[in-house]
Amino acid sequence: MDAYRAQLQSFDQDIADAIRGEERRQSDGVEMIPSENYTYPEVLAALGSVLTNKYSEGYPGRRYYGGQEYTDVIENIARDRACALFRAEHANVQPLSGSPMNQACYFAFLNPGDTVLAMDLSHGGHLTHGAPVSHMGKVFNFVRYKSAPQQGGAIDFDALMTVAKATRPKIVLCGYSSYPRDYDYASFKEVADEVGALTMADISHIGGLVAANVMRNPFDSGFDVVTTTTHKTLRGSRGGLILSKAAYAKKIDSAVFPGLQGGPHMNNIAGAAITFKKAAASEFIEYAQATLRNAKALAAALLAEGVTLVTGGTDNHLLVIDTVASFDVDGQVAEEALDSIGITTNKQVIPDDTRPPLRPSGLRLGTPACTTRGMCEDDMGRIAQWIVKTLRHPKDTAAVEATREEVKATCRRYPVPGIS
Ligand code: DSN
């Protein structure tokens, strides 16, 4: 790695400097975008390896190019480890990331125009769960359900059953990118069974928490298909993973390749294999538990300051602040204000938001990345104070500068893996 870095530095200083700058940014600030994390040095080594040179269309033992003796080993290990980690019968490790992963599942099981029951985007669902602006929303008929934010984000399963009976979905999909609660998978399964639909859970955000068994595993409730990205709470290389019952293996594999993708990125798949090995170790369970503890501590400290949280709290790694109700600023203003003190977050629509996505009413925060660098509940109390102080007085430049220095000083105590 160091040799590669030295060569890059002497050949292309502009890019080398930008990478160095990004390393400093990641070290000096608190990363609180809930879908981001710091991966392992071992994974960075695999990503920067010669595996990036190789084309491997097909699957182990059935490839369209020669020279696969090592790539087959890597993909088989990745698949076996993924199945063991999630208690799945089949794993496809080739999706390039979360969006193609979900698209492949739709194309495996649906014809254009078929109906899917999925969570509304503003209530925490994902673009690929049929948001009207996504291609998937145009190809398939997504019927959206919502949560009840005033009742802790509860989902009304009687209402969902009525909608399912009326619309006869082929897939009942649960999963989220901005929902701070866990899912009652058994109730989703009941609805799906009643109408003969397939059950699919997109656990991209909580994949690491499910792997560590600190959140529910949809397979324990009999789910058919589970998707997750590998770079969020799992802390790995960027990629998508489709897990399923063995009966769906062929359909899913053909939908990924040749249906949707060409050559898999073998350096990422090696990174995923390493990630799954890391996630099976007891240190990872401790990490997952700490991520949840930190999210609860952050939520409690913000609530104690009178901040309004969507659904009133969190059961996972993320929380959503209603910034308009709490500070009378929109999510864009809040994101920029926190950027200026070195806390990175993202603006976020809240349930049934009346504001546009680039000026929404909320802000999304999460604890996976800061927990990776070892931050604990005391730090969450400090972070909550910095957030509240800054969002109450975003134009107080002296306070902003002083807080920025405090953030940096705290960050220096917690090195980032892979950055020296
Ligand atoms: N971009 C990811 C997230 O932030 O949740 C999901 O697509």
Residue 170 annotated to the active site? no
pLDDT at position 258 is: 98
Judge if the beta carbon of residue 37 lies within 6 A of ligand 1. no
Residue 116's CATH number: 3.40.640.10
- pLDDT at res. 3: 79
Contact status, residue 374 vs residue 283, Cβ threshold 8 Å: no
Distance CA 76, CA 88 (A): 14
315 part of the active site? no
Atom of ligand 1 nearest to the CA of 36: 4
Is-catalytic flag, 379?
no
Model pTM? 0.97
Are 320 and 245 within one domain? no
pLDDT reported for residue 1: 67
In which band, very low, low, confident or very high, does the pLDDT at 26 lie, cut at 50, 70 and 90? very high
Residue 42 has pLDDT above 90, yes or no: yes
Query: Where a domain ends, among 279, 298, 320?
Result: 279
In a domain, 13, yes or no: no
The stretch 279-297 carries a mean pLDDT of 98
User: Is residue 263, in this structure, part of any structural domain at all?
Assistant: yes
Clarify whether residues 238 and 306 are in a common domain. no
Domains identified in the chain, total number: 2
312 occurs within a structural domain: yes
Is residue 35 in contact with ligand 1, taking CB distance under 6 Å?
A: yes
- Res 138: pLDDT: 92
Joined tokens for residue 397: 């430049």
Percent of the chain residues past pLDDT 70, beyond the cut = 100
Is the pLDDT confidence value at 159 over 70?
yes
261 and 341 in a single domain? The answer is no
pLDDT in tens, 226-240: 999 999 999 999 999
Residue 24 within any structural domain of the chain: no
Instruction: Inform me whether the pLDDT recorded for 2 exceeds 90.
Output: no
Query: Catalytic residue at 248?
Result: no
Residues 263 and 212 in one domain: yes
Residue 289's alpha-carbon distances to 66, 200, 238, in angstroms, are 44, 25, 23
407 and 350 belong to one structural domain: yes
Average pLDDT, the chain: 97
pLDDT tens string 60-98:
999 999 999 999 999 999 999 999 999 999 999 999 999
Q: Does ligand 1 lie within 6 Å of residue 128's CB atom?
A: no
Q: Which residues pair with 319 in a beta bridge?
A: 365
Residue 198's DSSP bridge partners are 171
- Structural domain includes residue 135: yes
Q: Does 40 reside within a domain?
A: no
Supply the CATH number for residue 365's domain.
3.90.1150.10
Residues 212 and 69 in one domain: yes
For the chain, the three-class secondary structure string (H helix, E strand, C coil) is CHHHHHHHHHHCHHHHHHHHHHHHHHHHCEECCCCCCCCCHHHHHHHCCHHHHCCCCEECCEECCCCCHHHHHHHHHHHHHHHHHHCCCEEECCCCCHHHHHHHHHHHHCCCCCEEEEECHHHCCCHHHCCCCCHHHHHCEEEEECCEHHHCCECCHHHHHHHHHHHCCCEEEEECCCCCCCCCHHHHHHHHHHHCCEEEEECCCCHHHHHCCCCCCHHHHCCCEEEEECCCCCCCCCCEEEEECHHHHHHHHHHHHHHHCCCCCHHHHHHHHHHHHHHCCHHHHHHHHHHHHHHHHHHHHHHHCCCCEHHHCCCCCEEEEEHHHHHCCCHHHHHHHHHHCCEECEEECCCCCCCCCCCCCEEEEECHHHHHCCCCHHHHHHHHHHHHHHHHCCCCHHHHHHHHHHHHHHHHCCCCCCCC
**Selected catalytic residue, list 39, 199, 229, 233:** 229
What is the sign, positive or negative, of the torsion defined by CA atoms of 395, 397, 398, 403?
A: positive
Q: What is the pLDDT of residues 162-176, one digit of tens each?
A: 999 999 999 999 999
- Compute the average pLDDT of residues 356-364: 97
Q: Whose CA is nearest to atom 2 of ligand 1?
A: 35
Tokens read off for 54: 């190789």
Is 10 inside any structural domain? Answer: no
Residues spanned by the domain of 307: 285-411
179 lies in the same domain as 68? yes
What tens digit of pLDDT does each residue of 237-271 get? 999 999 999 999 999 999 999 999 999 999 999 99
pLDDT at 222 over 80: yes
Mean pLDDT of 199-215: 98
Q: Are residues 275 and 400 in the same domain?
A: no
User: Residue 123: which residues within 8 A CB-CB, separation 6 or more?
Assistant: 146, 147, 149, 179, 351, 352
From 211, 245, 279, the end of a domain falls on 279
For ligand 1, atom 6, name the residue with the nearest CA. Answer: 177
Decide if 55 is catalytic. yes
| In a shared domain, residues 330 and 273 | no
Mean pLDDT of 310-336: 98
341 and 239 together in one domain: no
Q: Which of 33, 103, 204 maximizes ligand 1 atoms within 8 Å of its Cβ, making it the mutation to test the pocket?
A: 204
Residue 214 and residue 314 share a domain = no
Question: Mean per-residue pLDDT for 23-31?
Answer: 97
Same domain, yes or no: 265 and 307: no
For this structure, is 12 an active site residue? no
